[in-house]
Amino acid sequence: MKYVPVAAYDNYVTAHLAKGRLEAESIQCWLMDENTVTIMPIWSQALGGIKLMVPDVQAPRAQEILASLEQAHKSHHACSQCGSHNTEEISTPRKISNWISAISTFLLGNYAIPVKKVRRCFDCGHETPL
């Protein structure tokens, strides 16, 4: 059976939530590069994150489920400024503090300094710290 990636995640928690959702719909799936990304988060970008792999014949159905999951998630996170649901959770890599935390995390080998995440509204540009 041939497996194809249907989604990619930068942490194992969201990856497992999506995997569990697909398994509940009887879709066989597994996570590629989970251990590497979890142990060395700094490699996540290079590897393309944790890939959710499904059989190619089940990929359209899996994408449908993931899209509705995303939609449900978005509708729970309206912009506090304008009320739009057109928002997304993003990390802010352009800020110097994130580079410092990425380097310290790499050097210290722990997760003591988290990367800053915000919820950005694509309609008004407002950013809500998470």
Contacts with Zn ion, residue ranges (CB under 5 A): 79, 81-82, 84, 121, 123-124, 126
Minimum distance from CB of 87 to Zn ion (Å)? 7
Q: How far is CA 100 from CA 27, 56, 90, 97, 112, in A?
A: 40, 40, 18, 5, 12
Which of 48/125 has CB closer to Zn ion?
125
Q: How far is 96 from 98, CA to CA, in rounded Å?
A: 5
Closer CB to Zn ion, residue 36 or residue 128? Answer: 128
**Nearer to Zn ion (CB atom), residue 116 or residue 120:** 120
Closest distance to Zn ion from the beta carbon of 125 (Å): 7
Residue 61 vs 117, nearer CB to Zn ion = 117
* Shortest distance in whole angstroms from residue 92 CB to Zn ion: 17
In the complex, minimum distance from the CB of residue 12 to Zn ion, in angstroms, rounded to a whole number: 30
Q: Give the integer Cα–Cα distance in Å for 84 and 86.
A: 5
Instruction: Give the amino acid at 94.
Output: R
